[in-house]
Amino acid sequence: MTDKRFFAAREAMSLGEIARRIGAILADGVDEERTLDGVAPLDAAGPRDLSFLDNPKYASVFETTRAGACIVHPRFAERAPRGLALLLSEQPYRAYAVAAQLFYPEEVVGSDTYGEKGIVHSGATVHPTARLGDEVTVEPGAVIGAGVEVGSGTVICANASLSKGCTIGKNCFIGPNTTISHAHIGDRVMLHPGVRIGQDGFGFAMGLPRHEKVPQLGRVIIQDDVEIGANSTIDRGAGPDTVIGEGTKIDNLVQIGHNVEIGRGCIVVSLTGISGSAKLGDFVVLAAQVGVTGHLTINTGAQIAARSAVLHDVPAGQQYGGVPAKPIAEWRREVVELRKLGRRKKKTESSDE
C-alpha cells in the first residue's frame, strides 16, 4: 500500500485533467470534475483512488474493485462494476505510469532521504573549490571533492562520495553510499543506493613473474535520464571512455566493464555482466543474468533472453537466447528436441527394467 510516511501525493486532481495528461478518453457519463487523491492497485483501491487493468489475468479483480476510477483498454469496459469511472486507453499500463508520476513526481527523480531538502547539512564535507548549484541537497556524511560541479536541484544522499573533478548535472539523485569517480553525469540521472561509478577497470597484462596492472585512464560518461539500480558497478575506461546512453535503464546488481558503450534507451536487467569493450546499440534489451563477452557488438533493437551467453555479434532487431546465444527460434527448437530425447531415454530405461 502507499504509506503516507514515505509517499506524499500532490493535491487532488480531476478526472478531466488526468485524462488529458495521460492521453486517455473518459467513458460516456463520467464527471470530468470529479477528483481523486492518488493511485492504488485494484484490490486495495478505494473511492478516491485511481487504478488500472492491463493483464487479463486480473479481470475478475477489476469486476469487484472499489476504486473510484480505472484506466482500462476499451475491450474491458463492459466488465466494469457499477459506478466505476473509466479512462479508456490503448496502453493502460503506460497511461497508469504517467498518472502515477502526476501524483508522485518526486518518485520519478528521487527524493531526499534525511528529510531536509535544499540545504547542505553541517555533517557533510564539501571541498572549498566544489561548485554547487541552486537548491542542491547534501545530506550528512556525504563527501564532495575538489573541483566537483553539481547542478541545481540535485540530491546527494547520506554517505555518498563524489571524487575530485567529477561533474553532476541538474535534478539528479545520488543515492546513499554511492561512490563516483572519474565521471561526468548528465541531467535527471538516478543512482540508487550503493552504485559504484568510475572505479578501475579490470585490466592486467598477464604473465610471469607477475600480472602487470594497466592504468585505467578513461572516464565514465553517463548521459541524461539514465537510471542505475542498487549495487550496480560501472568501471571507467582503460583509455576510451565507458559510455551509458541517454534514457538507458539499468537494474540492480549489474556489472559493466571498462570501455563498454551502451546506446540510448537500453534495458539491462539484474545480474547481467557486460565485459570490456562490448558495444550495445540503441534500445537493446538484456534480460536477467545475461553474460556478454568483450569486444563484440549487439546491434540496435536486439533482445537477449535471460541466462544467455552472448559470444558473437548480434544483428539488429534480432531475438537471441541460449548458451551460446543463437536466434531464438533455433534455441527453442533445440530445447524441444533435448526434452524429447530425454523422454525417449527415460522410456527406454523403464522398458529395460
pLDDT for the residue numbered 281: 98
d(CA 51, CA 251): 25
pLDDT band with cut points at 50, 70 and 90 for residue 350: low
* Residue of 276, 96, 274, 55 whose CA lies nearest to 284: 274
Q: Is the pLDDT of residue 305 over 70?
A: yes
pLDDT of residue 1: 64
Q: What is the pLDDT of residue 349?
A: 67
pLDDT digits (tens, 9 = 90+) for 190-214: 999 999 999 999 999 999 999 999 9
CATH of domain 13-104: 3.40.1390.10
Residue 185 has pLDDT above 70, yes or no: yes
- Stretch 24-39: mean pLDDT: 96
Residue type, 224: D
Task: With a cut of 80, say whether residue 346 has pLDDT above it.
Answer: no
Q: b/e string for 78-113 if b means 16 or more Cβ within 10 A?
A: eebeeebbbbbbeebeebbebbbbbbbeeebbbbbe
- Which of 67, 71, 61 is closest to 99 using CA atoms? 71
**Long-range Cβ contact pairs of 296-301 (< 8 A, separation 24 or more):** 300/263
pLDDT of residue 9: 76
The pLDDT mean for the chain works out to: 95
Residue 7 pLDDT grade (very low, low, confident, very high; cuts 50, 70, 90): confident
Residues marked as catalytic: 258
Q: Quick one: pLDDT at residue 6?
A: 87
d(CA 253, CA 76): 38
The better pLDDT of the pair 287, 7 is held by: 287
Domain boundaries, the chain: 13-104
Q: Pick from 92, 77, 81, 79: which is nearest to 28 by CA?
A: 77
pLDDT exceeds cutoff 70 at 43: yes
Beta-carbon count within 10 A of 329 CB: 10
Positive or negative, the Cα torsion across 26, 30, 34, 35? negative
What DSSP element (H or E) covers 107?
A: helix 106-109
Pick from 33-37, 130-134, 323-327, 337-341: least confident: 337-341
Q: How confident is the model at residue 278 (pLDDT cuts 50, 70, 90)?
A: very high
What is the predicted pLDDT for the residue at 5? 83
C-alpha distances (whole Å) from 253 to each of 47, 92, 169, 223, 232 are 39, 30, 24, 20, 4
Check residue 123 and give left, alpha or beta (phi > 0: left; psi -120 to 50: alpha).
Answer: alpha
Residue 96 main-chain phi, psi, to 5 deg? -65, -40
pTM of this prediction? 0.92
